Protein backbone atom coordinates (compact mmCIF):
# COMPACT_ATOMS: atom_id res chain seq x y z
CA UNK A 1 0.00 0.00 0.00
CA UNK A 2 1.33 3.42 -0.99
CA UNK A 3 2.02 5.76 1.94
CA UNK A 4 0.28 9.02 1.11
CA UNK A 5 2.20 12.28 1.43
CA UNK A 6 -0.09 14.89 2.95
CA UNK A 7 0.27 18.39 1.50
CA UNK A 8 -1.05 21.85 2.37
CA UNK A 9 -0.99 24.63 -0.26
CA UNK A 10 -0.72 28.32 0.65
CA UNK A 11 -1.07 30.99 -2.06
CA UNK A 12 -3.21 34.11 -2.21
CA UNK A 13 -4.38 33.30 -5.75
CA UNK A 14 -7.18 30.72 -5.78
CA UNK A 15 -6.52 29.87 -9.43
CA UNK A 16 -2.91 28.97 -8.62
CA UNK A 17 -4.00 26.80 -5.69
CA UNK A 18 -6.65 25.04 -7.76
CA UNK A 19 -4.28 24.33 -10.64
CA UNK A 20 -1.48 23.07 -8.43
CA UNK A 21 -3.87 21.00 -6.33
CA UNK A 22 -5.18 19.21 -9.43
CA UNK A 23 -1.66 18.49 -10.65
CA UNK A 24 -0.61 17.09 -7.28
CA UNK A 25 -3.75 14.98 -6.87
CA UNK A 26 -2.95 13.30 -10.18
CA UNK A 27 0.13 11.79 -8.50
CA UNK A 28 -0.99 8.61 -6.71
CA UNK A 29 0.97 9.17 -3.51
CA UNK A 30 0.11 12.87 -3.02
CA UNK A 31 -3.00 14.18 -1.30
CA UNK A 32 -3.81 17.86 -0.76
CA UNK A 33 -5.51 17.98 2.62
CA UNK A 34 -6.01 21.75 3.00
CA UNK A 35 -5.42 25.14 1.39
CA UNK A 36 -4.75 28.66 2.72
CA UNK A 37 -4.76 32.10 1.11
CA UNK A 38 -2.43 33.86 3.55
CA UNK A 39 0.40 33.14 5.96
CA UNK A 40 -1.67 33.22 9.14
CA UNK A 41 -4.18 30.74 7.74
CA UNK A 42 -1.32 28.54 6.52
CA UNK A 43 0.03 28.24 10.07
CA UNK A 44 -3.46 27.46 11.38
CA UNK A 45 -4.01 24.76 8.73
CA UNK A 46 -0.66 23.14 9.56
CA UNK A 47 -1.55 23.07 13.25
CA UNK A 48 -4.96 21.60 12.48
CA UNK A 49 -4.02 18.98 9.87
CA UNK A 50 -0.37 18.02 10.59
CA UNK A 51 0.79 17.68 6.96
CA UNK A 52 4.04 16.17 5.75
CA UNK A 53 4.71 19.04 3.34
CA UNK A 54 3.58 22.64 3.09
CA UNK A 55 3.96 24.49 -0.20
CA UNK A 56 4.12 28.27 0.24
CA UNK A 57 4.15 31.36 -1.94
CA UNK A 58 6.25 34.38 -0.84
CA UNK A 59 3.94 37.34 -1.45
CA UNK A 60 0.99 36.43 0.74
CA UNK A 61 -1.17 38.90 2.68
CA UNK A 62 -1.22 39.20 6.49
CA UNK A 63 2.05 37.26 6.83
CA UNK A 64 4.60 36.89 4.04
CA UNK A 65 6.30 33.66 3.06
CA UNK A 66 9.55 34.46 4.85
CA UNK A 67 7.95 35.08 8.24
CA UNK A 68 5.54 32.18 7.74
CA UNK A 69 8.49 29.89 7.04
CA UNK A 70 10.31 31.08 10.16
CA UNK A 71 7.28 30.40 12.36
CA UNK A 72 6.56 27.01 10.79
CA UNK A 73 10.18 25.93 11.16
CA UNK A 74 10.19 27.00 14.82
CA UNK A 75 6.86 25.43 15.77
CA UNK A 76 6.87 22.36 13.49
CA UNK A 77 10.50 21.25 13.13
CA UNK A 78 9.63 18.01 11.28
CA UNK A 79 7.52 19.77 8.64
CA UNK A 80 8.94 19.95 5.11
CA UNK A 81 8.55 23.44 3.60
CA UNK A 82 8.68 24.04 -0.15
CA UNK A 83 8.59 27.53 -1.64
CA UNK A 84 7.09 27.96 -5.11
CA UNK A 85 7.45 31.55 -6.24
CA UNK A 86 7.72 33.70 -9.35
CA UNK A 87 10.94 35.17 -7.88
CA UNK A 88 14.08 33.64 -9.35
CA UNK A 89 16.44 36.34 -8.05
CA UNK A 90 19.02 34.79 -5.73
CA UNK A 91 18.04 37.05 -2.83
CA UNK A 92 14.74 35.30 -2.15
CA UNK A 93 16.06 31.72 -2.12
CA UNK A 94 18.83 32.78 0.25
CA UNK A 95 16.35 34.40 2.64
CA UNK A 96 13.92 31.47 2.50
CA UNK A 97 16.55 28.77 2.92
CA UNK A 98 18.00 30.68 5.86
CA UNK A 99 14.48 30.95 7.33
CA UNK A 100 14.15 27.17 7.19
CA UNK A 101 12.69 26.21 3.80
CA UNK A 102 13.69 22.78 2.50
CA UNK A 103 13.22 23.53 -1.20
CA UNK A 104 12.79 26.47 -3.56
CA UNK A 105 11.09 26.30 -6.95
CA UNK A 106 9.84 28.90 -9.40
CA UNK A 107 6.30 28.90 -10.78
CA UNK A 108 7.76 27.84 -14.13
CA UNK A 109 8.47 24.42 -12.58
CA UNK A 110 6.50 21.51 -14.00
CA UNK A 111 4.77 18.80 -12.00
CA UNK A 112 7.70 16.43 -12.55
CA UNK A 113 10.10 18.85 -10.86
CA UNK A 114 7.63 19.64 -8.07
CA UNK A 115 7.15 15.91 -7.50
CA UNK A 116 10.92 15.40 -7.44
CA UNK A 117 11.34 18.24 -4.93
CA UNK A 118 8.70 16.68 -2.65
CA UNK A 119 10.48 13.34 -2.72
CA UNK A 120 13.81 15.02 -2.05
CA UNK A 121 12.61 16.88 1.04
CA UNK A 122 10.80 13.78 2.31
CA UNK A 123 14.18 12.05 2.13
CA UNK A 124 15.65 14.88 4.28
CA UNK A 125 17.46 16.47 1.36
CA UNK A 126 17.22 20.05 0.10
CA UNK A 127 16.21 20.98 -3.43
CA UNK A 128 16.68 24.15 -5.50
CA UNK A 129 15.46 24.41 -9.08
CA UNK A 130 18.13 24.67 -11.77
CA UNK A 131 17.53 28.33 -12.65
CA UNK A 132 17.89 29.47 -9.04
CA UNK A 133 20.81 27.14 -8.33
CA UNK A 134 22.69 28.69 -11.26
CA UNK A 135 22.15 32.21 -9.93
CA UNK A 136 23.25 31.17 -6.44
CA UNK A 137 26.38 29.59 -7.92
CA UNK A 138 27.20 32.83 -9.74
CA UNK A 139 26.70 34.82 -6.55
CA UNK A 140 28.79 32.48 -4.40
CA UNK A 141 31.59 32.41 -6.96
CA UNK A 142 31.72 36.18 -7.20
CA UNK A 143 30.30 36.17 -10.74
CA UNK A 144 27.95 38.67 -12.30
CA UNK A 145 24.84 37.20 -10.65
CA UNK A 146 25.09 39.46 -7.60
CA UNK A 147 21.78 41.08 -6.74
CA UNK A 148 21.38 44.82 -6.08
CA UNK A 149 18.81 43.81 -3.45
CA UNK A 150 21.12 41.62 -1.37
CA UNK A 151 21.88 44.27 1.29
CA UNK A 152 18.25 45.11 2.05
CA UNK A 153 16.94 44.37 5.51
CA UNK A 154 14.03 41.98 5.97
CA UNK A 155 11.60 44.86 6.53
CA UNK A 156 12.94 46.75 3.52
CA UNK A 157 12.39 43.62 1.45
CA UNK A 158 8.79 43.41 2.65
CA UNK A 159 8.17 47.04 1.70
CA UNK A 160 9.86 46.48 -1.65
CA UNK A 161 7.61 43.53 -2.49
CA UNK A 162 4.49 45.59 -1.81
CA UNK A 163 5.81 48.63 -3.68
CA UNK A 164 6.46 46.67 -6.87
CA UNK A 165 2.95 45.24 -6.65
CA UNK A 166 1.72 48.82 -7.00
CA UNK A 167 0.52 49.41 -3.43
CA UNK A 168 0.47 52.95 -2.10
CA UNK A 169 2.02 54.06 1.19
CA UNK A 170 -1.31 53.90 3.03
CA UNK A 171 -1.97 50.34 1.82
CA UNK A 172 1.53 49.19 2.78
CA UNK A 173 1.04 50.82 6.16
CA UNK A 174 -2.13 48.78 6.75
CA UNK A 175 -0.62 45.48 5.59
CA UNK A 176 2.58 45.77 7.63
CA UNK A 177 1.02 47.51 10.64
CA UNK A 178 3.41 50.44 10.32
CA UNK A 179 2.71 54.14 10.36
CA UNK A 180 2.59 55.90 6.95
CA UNK A 181 5.59 57.98 8.06
CA UNK A 182 7.62 54.84 8.76
CA UNK A 183 6.68 53.32 5.40
CA UNK A 184 7.70 56.57 3.67
CA UNK A 185 11.05 56.38 5.44
CA UNK A 186 11.58 52.80 4.23
CA UNK A 187 10.58 53.85 0.70
CA UNK A 188 13.07 56.73 0.70
CA UNK A 189 15.79 54.44 2.05
CA UNK A 190 15.05 51.79 -0.59
CA UNK A 191 15.29 54.24 -3.46
CA UNK A 192 18.61 55.48 -2.14
CA UNK A 193 20.11 52.02 -1.59
CA UNK A 194 19.07 50.88 -5.05
CA UNK A 195 20.09 54.13 -6.78
CA UNK A 196 16.70 54.69 -8.42
CA UNK A 197 14.71 57.91 -8.51
CA UNK A 198 11.09 56.71 -8.33
CA UNK A 199 8.73 53.74 -8.27
CA UNK A 200 8.87 53.35 -12.06
CA UNK A 201 12.64 52.90 -12.03
CA UNK A 202 12.30 50.56 -9.04
CA UNK A 203 9.78 48.42 -10.93
CA UNK A 204 12.06 48.23 -13.98
CA UNK A 205 14.95 47.13 -11.76
CA UNK A 206 12.74 44.49 -10.14
CA UNK A 207 11.69 43.18 -13.55
CA UNK A 208 15.34 42.92 -14.64
CA UNK A 209 16.12 40.69 -11.67
CA UNK A 210 13.07 38.44 -11.87
CA UNK A 211 10.99 39.88 -9.03
CA UNK A 212 8.04 40.43 -11.36
CA UNK A 213 7.27 39.34 -14.88
CA UNK A 214 5.33 42.43 -15.90
CA UNK A 215 4.47 45.85 -14.51
CA UNK A 216 2.07 45.50 -11.54
CA UNK A 217 -1.38 46.95 -11.84
CA UNK A 218 -2.30 49.85 -9.51
Report pLDDT digits (tens) over 118-161. Answer: 999 999 988 887 666 655 554 444 444 556 777 777 678 778 87
Residue 143's pLDDT is what? 45
| Range from 4-18, 22-36, 78-92, 179-193 carrying the lowest mean pLDDT | 78-92
Look at residue 178 and tell me whether its pLDDT is greater than 70. Answer: yes
Average pLDDT, the chain: 83
Residue 140's pLDDT is what? 47
**Secondary structure of residue 141 in the 3-state scheme:** coil
Helix (H) or strand (E) holding 30: strand 30-36
Is residue 56 exposed (0-12), middle (13-18) or buried (19+ Cβ within 10 Å)? buried
Say how far apart CA 95 and CA 50 lie, in whole Å. 25
What domains, with CATH codes, occur in the chain? 5-140 (3.40.50.2300), 154-208 (1.10.10.10)
Cβ of 93: how many Cβ atoms within 10 Å? 25
Residue 173's pLDDT is what? 86
Residue 119's pLDDT is what? 93
Say how far apart CA 61 and CA 175 lie, in whole Å. 7
Residue 90's pLDDT is what? 54
CA 214 to chain centre: 17
Do 176 and 159 contact (CB within 8 A), yes or no? yes
Residue 161's pLDDT is what? 73
Look at residue 67 and tell me whether its pLDDT is greater than 70. Answer: yes
Amino acid sequence: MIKMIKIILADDHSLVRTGLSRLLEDVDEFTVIAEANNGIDAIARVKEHCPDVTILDINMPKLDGIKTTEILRRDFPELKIIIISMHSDELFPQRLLKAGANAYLTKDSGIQEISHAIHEVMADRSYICTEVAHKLALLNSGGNGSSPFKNLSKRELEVLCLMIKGLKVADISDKLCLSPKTVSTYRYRLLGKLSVQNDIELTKLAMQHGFIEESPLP
